[in-house]
Amino acid sequence: MNQRRIVFVVFDGFQPLDLVGPHEVFQHAAARSGAYECAVVSARAGAVRSSSGLLLHTGHGVGELDPTGTDTLVVVGGEGVDRARDDAALVGWIAAAAAGARRVTSVCSGAFLLAAAGLLDGRRATTHWAREHQLAREYPAVHVDCDPVFVRDGDVWTSAGVTAGMDLALALVEDDLGRDAAHAAARELVLFLRRPGNQSQFSLALWSRQPATEPLRAALAAVHADPGARHGIAELAAVAGLSPRHLQRRFTAELGVPPGTYVERVRVEAAQRALAEGDEPVEAIARRHGFGTAETLRRAFHRRIGVAPSEYRERFRSTLAPEPVHPANERTSA
């Protein structure tokens, strides 16, 4: 098998996990298959300081590393990305390397460097949720979608922040070497869950707009306490002590979505956890979380996540499966 060259681009103020996480995924896959060789490039060879103060020594500067011959370009993010995209030599090298690469990727705010090089124009892309509006404002030709963990648009892949880079790298390994290789790397790195790209980078309870008034806080608490209970407009209105019409209006105004939409999102998140963490049949999960039937759950999953519940579980559970024990390797008692 020919080695694929993975080139990581860093800069002063890069986020260390954006580099180290994906780098380790490729190195673990390479240890088994010999499929990858990794290199790290910066504006100039030598010491590069990360956003946390960690010093990295790069062996290549952009003036010394031939941009051709790159299989996969990985541009990391970090708080120094705004200065880095003002470096014409660095941005130009990224554009040149991308022209000959089989695929181009970014982690977190590394999307800004891809955008500065013109590589995201007309494409759908993601970045860290805190940078969503900045990316959309400064690069209006990019279709920014900061809900997914990572996004693939043709040969350009972008990921959300920090640890999402490992999810992206595992997906790239799977694309190259198959699911078993990606699962093996995940197990060796003790990644508890391998998230598909279309899983949201947000948890609804943590990231949704919070209600400003106690009646709506009581209604939301009831939904999160028991997602599978009856949470129609009449039941939620009774919990909040409001009329159904008043609750509908205030709920939408304070949370930005109607009550029914919010309830479905909470139920889908609860079903995701159940599918990933247990062996309960899909039909039982559907009933317990308020969907009634497996078909209703399947439609909600396709609408919210883009995959069927069975596929979602398979992606997660196979990552958790233990390595087979061969009789020759079993310990025998003395």
Task: Verify that 31 and 149 share a domain, yes or no.
Answer: yes
Same domain, 18 and 138: yes
Of the listed ranges 30-34, 52-56, 76-80, the least confidently predicted one is 30-34
pLDDT at 49 over 90: yes
Rounded mean pLDDT, 168-176: 92
* pLDDT top residue among 201 and 58: 58
Asked whether residue 101 falls in the same domain as residue 179, the answer is yes
252 shares a domain with 168: no
- Domain assignment of residue 280, given as a range: 204-319
Q: Which of 85, 197, 71 is nearest to 131 (CA)?
A: 85
Output the CA torsion sign for 314, 319, 322, 326: positive
% of the chain at pLDDT higher than 70: 88
Domain boundary among 188, 216, 236: 188
pLDDT confidence of residue 179: 81
Show the tokens assigned to 14.
Answer: 């890069």
Which tokens belong to 295? 């078909």
27 with 170, same domain: the answer is yes
Taking a C-beta distance cutoff of 8 angstroms, is the pair 161, 77 a contact?
yes
Q: Which of 10, 17, 74, 108 is catalytic?
A: 108
> What is the pLDDT averaged over residues 167-177?
92
> Is residue 108 among the annotated active site residues?
yes
Query: Per the confidence metrics, is the pTM higher than 0.85?
Result: no
pLDDT at 83 over 80: yes
What is the DSSP pairing of strand 60-61 with strand 55-58?
A: unpaired
Chain mean pLDDT for the chain? 87
pLDDT over 70 at 94, yes or no: yes
Window from 33-37, 174-178, 190-194, 300-304 with minimum mean pLDDT = 190-194
Give dist(CA 187, CA 28) in Å, integer: 10
- Residues 187-241: pLDDT tens digits? 888 774 455 555 555 555 544 567 878 999 999 989 988 999 999 999 999 999 9
Q: Are 77 and 106 in contact (CB under 8 A)?
A: yes
If asked whether residues 306 and 181 sit together in one domain, one would say no
199, part of any domain: no
Q: Considering Cα of 200, then 204, then 207, then 209, what sign does the dihedral take?
A: positive
DSSP lists the bridge partners of residue 61 as 42
CATH of the domain at 301: 1.10.10.60
- Tally of structural domains, the chain: 2
Dihedrals phi, psi of 34, to nearest 5 degrees: 70, 20
Instruction: Give 277 or 228, the one with higher predicted confidence.
Output: 228
